[in-house]
Amino acid sequence: MLSSADWAAISLTLKLASLTTLLLLLIGTPIAWWLAYTRSKLKPAIGAVVSLPLVLPPTVLGFYMLLLMGPNGWIGQFTQALGLGTLPFTFTGLLVASVLYSMPFVVQPVQNAFEAIGPRPLEVAATLRASPLKTFFAVALPLARPGFITGAILGFAHTVGEFGVVLMIGGNIPGKTRVVSVQIFNHVEEMEYLHAHWLAGGMVVLSFLVLLALYVLNPNPRKG
């Protein structure tokens, strides 16, 4: 059965995935909006940067974060100057890593949903003298709802499935950085296959339910 260490890993994972999803909806929405409507020449470059985590192995992110966030890296020196210490081996560090790592999974569906609205409804709103801000909240957001649902679910699920980055910058600390994927790895390495089965089987069921929810709520997630 599940031990108290397993439960600690589960609650930590859920906390990490929830906070990551929340942050990504806040940070990702303006990025997605900008990408959907900008005419800037920078659009392809920014779009490519946002999508990088889709392509890069997690070890690349883990390696650079370990160096940049460490006491000798520039991010590390910045966080130390703020009195925050360094980020590796902390929950905050994992949160920063997860936001970067899951970014495209939220931004892309939301961007697609914004693009699918097209200029017409926004122009109509403008002719009815709605301010750009009001247009965004009263017209664009409700119309893009399927994109937000898809983005939130994928962002959450992808963070739950994160492993390589956490292994490289986490330090395997119970209650702080030992998430479910790492705990499963520990169980397997320690030959505790029964424990591994409970957690791994649970992950299979949870992942299926999450994706099932996605397809029930959004029959055509690709269309946003």
The separation between the first and the last C-alpha atoms of the chain, rounded to the nearest angstrom, is 40
46: which residues sit within 8 A by CB, 6+ positions away?
A: 31, 34, 35
- Contacts of 211-214 with C-beta under 8 Å, sequence gap 24+, read 211/153, 211/157, 213/153, 214/149, 214/150, 214/153, 214/154
In whole angstroms, what separates CA 32 from the centre of its chain?
14
DSSP-derived secondary structure letter, 163:
-
Q: What is the C-alpha to C-alpha distance for residues 36 and 206, in angstroms, rounded to an integer?
A: 32
Q: What is the C-alpha to C-alpha distance for residues 155 and 107, in angstroms, rounded to an integer?
A: 9
Nearer to another protein, 185 or 198 (CB): 185
Among residues 53, 88, 147, 224, the one that binds another protein under rule CB under 8 A: 88
203 binds another protein per the rule CB under 8 A: no
167 binds another protein per the rule CB under 8 A: yes
Structure tokens at 50: 């946002």
71 binds another protein per the rule CB under 8 A: yes
72 binds another protein per the rule CB under 8 A: yes
Nearer to another protein, 85 or 161 (CB): 85
Q: Least CB distance from residue 78 to another protein, whole Å?
A: 15
189 binds another protein per the rule CB under 8 A: yes
Nearer to another protein, 9 or 154 (CB): 9
Nearer to another protein, 161 or 164 (CB): 164
Q: What is the C-alpha to C-alpha distance for residues 93 and 78, in angstroms, rounded to an integer?
A: 14
64 binds another protein per the rule CB under 8 A: no
Nearer to another protein, 103 or 178 (CB): 178
Q: Which residues bind another protein (CB under 8 A)?
A: 66-67, 69-72, 85-86, 88-89, 167, 171-173, 185-186, 188-191
